[in-house]
Homo-oligomer: A and B are copies of this chain.
Amino acid sequence: MHPTIECWFEFGSNYSYLSLMRVEALALDAGVALRYQPFLLGPIFRELGWQSSPFAEQKEKGEYVWRDMARRAAKYGVPFRRPSAFPRRALLPMRVALVGADQAWMGEYCRRIMLQNWAHDREIDDAAVVLEALRGLVDDPQAVLAAARMEQAREALRAQTAKARALGIFGAPTFIVDGEMFWGDDRLEDALDYARRA
């Protein structure tokens, strides 16, 4: 059976950015199937007792994270500018991501949304930004947006987030390979190695 890596992510998460910019190409190289699993980090952080991202809650770690992000982005050749707002709300683009999770355009859509947040410092919880990201990827961007705005999509994202919680996910990105959990962009290569050997 073809090994699969599940990529659990959220557009508001900075380390998810680094992974989404890399995972599609790396999985392809490794011969590992990729399954996108968008979920909301906010409700999970709140259940764990944090009001916001631990990076926003904790000054020392927070400051450090931006240096780490700059260095890691440079190492990967990924553009990065520290956003003026963090963490950014991403409800609408996340709903679209869940609608398109199994579609061929998903990888490129994710990279486009992520670049708006982490390289161009734009708000992303915005219909115009989402439509712009979908342009050229789907026949009818407005139809995808409309689907993402239905109560069904809202409910699907809630269910997806509950599933993440049930799996024990406490941060993003998280990779799951055959029941084995790998947390953090810096474990992406380990997760792919694990999938290859599985």
Contact = CB atoms under 8 A, between A and B. Distances in A.
Interface of A: 48, 58, 60-61, 63-64, 67-68, 71-72, 75, 168-171, 180-183, 186-187, 190, 194
Given A186-B186, A190-B71, A190-B75, A168 B48 contact: no
Nearest to A186: B186
A187 B64 CA distance: 13
B64 A58 contact: no
B48 A60 contact: yes
Contacts of A64: 168, 170, 181, 183
Contacts of A181: 64, 67
Q: How many copies does the complex hold?
A: 2
Given A48-B58, A63-B168, A71-B194, 19 more contacts: A48-B60, A58-B170, A60-B168, A60-B169, A60-B170, A61-B170, A61-B171, A64-B168, A64-B170, A64-B181, A64-B183, A67-B180, A68-B182, A68-B183, A68-B187, A71-B190, A75-B190, A186-B186, A186-B187
Contacts of A194: 71
A64 B64 CA distance: 23
Nearest to A72: B190
A190 to B, nearest CB: 7
A76 to B, nearest CB: 12
Contacts of A187: 68, 186
A186 B190 CA distance: 12
7 A-B pairs with least C-beta separation: A60-B170, A186-B186, A60-B168, A61-B170, A64-B183, A64-B181, A48-B58
A181 B64 CA distance: 8
A174 to B, nearest CB: 9
Contacts of A186: 186-187
Nearest to A193: B75
A182 B168 CA distance: 27
